[in-house]
Homo-oligomer: A and B are copies of this chain.
Amino acid sequence: MKAVIIIGDGMADRPVRELGRKTPLEVAKKPSLNWVAETGVCGIIDTIAPGVPPGSDTAHLALLGYDVFKVYTGRGALEAIGSEVEIQLGDVAFRCNFATVDDNFRVLDRRAGRIETQDASQLVRDLKRVTYEGAQVTFDNTVQHRAILLLRGSGLSAMVSDSDPQKVGKRVSEVTPLDDSAEAKKTAKITEDLLQRYHEILKSHPVNEERKKKGLLPANVVLCRGAGTLPQLTTLSLRYGIQAAAIAAMPLVQGVCKAAGMTLLNVRGATGTYDTDSRAKAKAAIQAMKSNDLVLVHMKATDIASHDGKAQRKIEMIEKIDDMVGHIVKNVDMDKTFVAVTADHTTSLLTREHEGDPVPVAITGPGVRTDEIREFDERACARGSLGRIRGVDLMPTLMNFLGKTKKFGA
């Protein structure tokens, strides 16, 4: 027995007037997702806890069976792991954004107009030259405006604040220690110094001069957030005795999967944006099922559509996920495979933020106690037989179907 988990990032939503008081999932044409619901057992999941808006990192940790209240050590380290930035115990890593500020250091755009990866890479080449006495500094970009800052050295701490004020119009925050330790003070100072030196380099960088000429926003500042250290997770392999692989384009989700001991599969055309090649992901998943017990397929674009407030786009992306699921279920042996579909959290088209509303889940496979639910959406699944469970319960539920959970007691 094997299993595939398909996760639509931020796929769940609230009913919106624009869609006749329905959710994008309720409106989308999704025969394959509905097939999973109809042939399977449905429910709703609070990935963290009722009402708590999850981040994509904590949500995926929970869906992989980890108690996030115990294991979560901050976004930066997970993003670093996913970005193939080598991180060791004691290192402190930050998720960074190339962003645009005005002369008063107020944020004009938190993503420097979603700067192209190519431009960002050119900037990074020069930022990489900055060194710091007493700490080893690594700065790398990933996709578009996204980058990682990693500090290595003795006496560092992740207890430091973000420079990213998270809102346009606000001034860039100073990185400050979050406790009284010498380590936090030292780490805050190093980070703050580095970010200032990056700004000096960026504000007059030829790439940015070129961008301004083209009418593009300059990437004249680096914002950092989510200082984190290496999380210590018992791998899925150790925990359940399974081989597991993940197909995900986002470094943060890749980081979570890698930290859980999953093999990361690179799929050409998997971009983490609207144009991602979901068919290529499906094919990779089918292939990966041959040598793995569990394959997780993550799709980011649904979340982006909600953050952008684009209902029709979100529906299209759900239909893309549906096509991917359809391709997978038609090409694996469904007598020996469990397929679970869910979301990591609700992202509201209206608030454009992660929300704490539960997400739908459907699991099909041999021997599941099918219910009468025939549609995969927030409200239909809420009536399903799985009831309302927590994110941390999904993996044991699946591993139980695979015969991989251990009896507790005699």
Please give the residue numbers on chain A whose beta carbons come within 8 Å of chain B beta carbons, in ascending order.
14-16, 23, 44, 48-59, 61, 68, 72, 75, 95, 225-226, 252, 348, 350-351, 353-357, 367-371, 378-379, 382-383, 385-389, 393, 395-400, 403, 405-410
Contacts and interface: CB of A to CB of B under 8 A. Distances in A.
- Closest 7 A-B residue pairs measured CB to CB? A55-B409, A51-B396, A58-B409, A387-B388, A382-B385, A75-B410, A356-B400
A367 B14 contact: yes
A389 B75 CA distance: 29
Given A44-B387, A49-B393, A15 B367 contact: yes
A369 B383 contact: no
A203 to B, nearest CB: 27
Contacts of A386: 382, 388
Contacts of A49: 393, 396
Contacts of A406: 53
A56 B409 contact: yes
A346 to B, nearest CB: 9
Nearest to A62: B409
Contact of A405 (B52, B75, B367, B368): B52
Given A357-B369, A387-B382, A409-B68, A396 B50 contact: yes
A226 to B, nearest CB: 5
16 contacts: A14-B369, A15-B368, A52-B408, A53-B408, A54-B407, A54-B409, A55-B410, A57-B409, A58-B408, A226-B410, A350-B367, A354-B407, A369-B378, A371-B379, A382-B385, A387-B387
Contacts of A403: 351, 353
Contacts of A61: 409
Given A15-B368, A52-B400, A369-B379, 16 more contacts: A51-B393, A51-B396, A51-B400, A51-B405, A53-B406, A53-B408, A56-B409, A58-B408, A353-B403, A354-B407, A356-B405, A369-B378, A370-B379, A371-B383, A382-B385, A388-B389
A378 B369 CA distance: 8
Contact of A95 (B23, B367, B385, B410): B410
B50 A389 contact: yes
A293 B383 CA distance: 31
A75 B75 CA distance: 42
A69 B225 CA distance: 34
Contacts of A23: 369
A396 B355 CA distance: 11
B350 A59 contact: no
Given A15-B370, A16-B367, A369-B357, A53 B398 contact: no
B52 A252 contact: no
Contacts of A226: 410
A357 B54 contact: no
A408 to B, nearest CB: 5
A348 B400 CA distance: 12
A75 B408 CA distance: 10
B57 A393 contact: no
